[in-house]
Structure 1
Amino acid sequence: MNDSKSKEEVIEILKKHKISNYQIYKLEQWLKDFNSQVKGNSLTTGFKIMDNNVVDYSKLQFKNTPSYLVNCRLTSFLLVRNIINTNCKPDNTDTYLAFDLEEINNNSELSMTKQDKLNYATLFNWIPLDNAKTLKQHINKIESKLKERNIYIDDSKGISLINVYLHSPFDNARFVGHTGVLIDNGKELLFIEKYGPYAPFQATKFNSRDELKKYLLSRSDLYGGDDELEPIIFENYKVIKTK
């Protein structure tokens, strides 16, 4: 999301789906700060066709470090904060959200209300696996925990949250290793994400959830050791439905 034309297209879609002016304003501010620190012509303009579902930002260079670091979870929550409810009982033993919470607490650009912070932590908390060993058992454990946390996402406006749960055998847990917001725009699906803390904000068009799933699973950074089970992709609080 670099050139004005593509940004305007995305913003119009956000407005159409009732994303508030404040949310859009904050997204634009984050975009402006990040893009302004990228050197030269490292960022492409407009929508481009991907090669084998792969996007490569390894050669991205910066003039200076962005003023504040925004990751995928902070970006997604900004866009869905008004359609999410939880029981507001976060698991404070979760170590995977330490970076996020530090940034929220210490940077005014990322600050949240107490209610939003509780919803944020509860939504993205890790999922302890206990005795779950198989992929199906992992899925059941995630579904059970999300239900226990009373997580509700109002998808009536065509907006849903896509969470990619990765496996940590060391911690015996699943955690949200990547996330983005999916908007059903009628003729196509629009997926909005922050590709990584040091990678751009990105909007991608898909014809189906199958295409989205293939794209997400093509990321090499989602895979670790041989003892890890494969990533699990959820749409809201259910495994993403594909054909």
Structure 2
Amino acid sequence: MKSKKALLIICISCILLITGCGDKGEVIDKPIKQLTYSNLTDRASQNELTTALIDANIPKKYVDNFIANVVSFQKTVGKERLTKGGYETIDGLEPTYDEVSMIDSWKLLQPDVQDVNCRLTAFELLQDEIVVKKSYTGESFELFMDADSFENSPQCSINSSDWPDFSALFGSIPTENTKDIQKHLAVLQKSWKEREISFKDNDKISLVSVVFHAAEDKILFIGHCGVLIRKDDEFLFVEKVSFQMPYQVDKFKSKQELNDYLMHKYDVSYNQPSAKPFIIENDQLIEGYRSNPDNPADRTTE
């Protein structure tokens, strides 16, 4: 009897060791149901992010420009429905913004230009971490709105000489019509290798991208992206929600929590010919990648 109890204790200990609070890259069982985030409306949260970015070897001039853009955006659209100061935790994974009001406020003060988006924001911060050795001359028609902001927005500080590198990184990639994520990942990696795109070895910061498959056009494209910072025992994800939508910094305990947040937002289609979106960190599938458990397609297969 004692031997059975001892065996049971050992088994339970092993389970706890495997599933307990270990390395922050661990695979967790349940998707997150709450989001901790900030819109950087106060000096303290801005300073915290500034320190984290500089500690990750991002040049101060890039960080200062980012913070200036945050402040400029808030002056233009106001702070209504943004976090009141610091970070807030909400039930659910999507903050509620008054998108119509923000767009109207932006057009009132800056009628001739649009703000920068997620891709331009991420590239401005990470441009020294991304290496593009080959001049890109391929198609980038899907980046026409990015190009408009690049050319006309005072918030965009990317040099004109860097636009080919931006286009190489974010330009669409021809692919086959399959729902196999691994095949699409291999196609993307091969294409980036041909474009001679690589990422510097920096374990403190990385580019996280949501890759979409457009079956009708047979392409892959990065529909959303942000900057992931490893800070002590947590991760900060820096994103621009969209052109006339706020800057947002999210806190996560693991990369899988970030995956769950992004997939909850973007893995929502079903009964479509396209593959599910997938999340990459630099050029690799993010650790802990999995689909959105609330997607009807996944619920019906359980």
The gaps in structure 2 that reach 5 residues or longer are 1-39, 290-302
Residue 124 of structure 1 corresponds to which residue in structure 2?
170
SS in 2 for 1:175: strand
The answer to whether residue 46 in structure 2 is matched with residue 7 in structure 1 is: yes
| One-letter code aligned to 1:128 | P
| One-letter code aligned to 1:124 | F
Q: Check the 8 A contact 2:238/2:250 in 1, yes or no.
A: yes
Mean alpha-carbon deviation: is it higher for 212-221 or for 230-239? 212-221
Residue 213 of structure 1 corresponds to which residue in structure 2?
259
Q: Check the 8 A contact 1:72/1:194 in 2, yes or no.
A: yes
| One-letter code aligned to 2:53 | L
Mean alpha-carbon deviation: is it higher for 42-51 or for 227-236? 42-51
CA distance in 1, matches of 2:247, 2:236: 13
SS in 2 for 1:192: strand
Give the alignment of 1:118-197 within 5 angstroms: 118-130=164-176, 134-156=180-202, 158-197=204-243
1:38 to 48, 56, 77: 77
Mean alpha-carbon deviation: is it higher for 197-206 or for 212-221? 212-221
Residue 198 of structure 1 corresponds to which residue in structure 2?
244
2:90 to 46, 50, 57: 50
CA distance in 2, matches of 1:22, 1:205: 24
CA distance in 2, matches of 1:40, 1:137: 43
Aligned-pair CA distance for 1:107: 3.3
**TM value normalised by structure 2:** 0.74
Mean alpha-carbon deviation: is it higher for 48-57 or for 6-15? 48-57
CA distance in 2, matches of 1:75, 1:31: 11
The answer to whether residue 103 in structure 2 is matched with residue 64 in structure 1 is: no
CA distance in 2, matches of 1:107, 1:198: 12
Q: Check the 8 A contact 1:127/1:173 in 2, yes or no.
A: yes
**TM value normalised by structure 1:** 0.90
CA distance in 1, matches of 2:54, 2:78: 30
* C-alpha distance after superposition, 1:68-91 (max 9, x if no partner): 411000110011011111134335
SS in 2 for 1:183: strand
CA distance in 1, matches of 2:193, 2:270: 28
| One-letter code aligned to 1:36 | K
Please identify the structure whose Cα radius of gyration is greater: 2
Q: 1:232 to 1:33 in 2, by over 3 A?
A: same
Q: 1:97 to 1:64 in 2, by over 3 A?
A: closer
Query: Percent identity of the aligned residues?
Result: 29
1:24 to 63, 69, 87: 63
Q: 1:108 to 1:64 in 2, by over 3 A?
A: closer
SS in 2 for 1:219: helix
SS in 1 for 2:135: coil
The gaps in structure 1 that reach 5 residues or longer are none
Q: Check the 8 A contact 1:166/1:222 in 2, yes or no.
A: no
Mean alpha-carbon deviation: is it higher for 157-166 or for 124-133? 124-133
Mean alpha-carbon deviation: is it higher for 106-115 or for 44-53? 106-115
Aligned-pair CA distance for 1:129: 0.4
Q: Check the 8 A contact 1:169/1:227 in 2, yes or no.
A: yes
Mean alpha-carbon deviation: is it higher for 52-61 or for 114-123? 52-61
Residue 12 of structure 2 corresponds to which residue in structure 1?
none
Q: 1:59 to 1:110 in 2, by over 3 A?
A: closer
Mean alpha-carbon deviation: is it higher for 24-33 or for 83-92? 83-92
* C-alpha distance after superposition, 1:115-148 (max 9, x if no partner): 4212111111111104655322112111111221
Give aligned pairs, total: 243
The answer to whether residue 115 in structure 2 is matched with residue 75 in structure 1 is: no
Residue 143 of structure 2 corresponds to which residue in structure 1?
97
SS in 1 for 2:240: strand
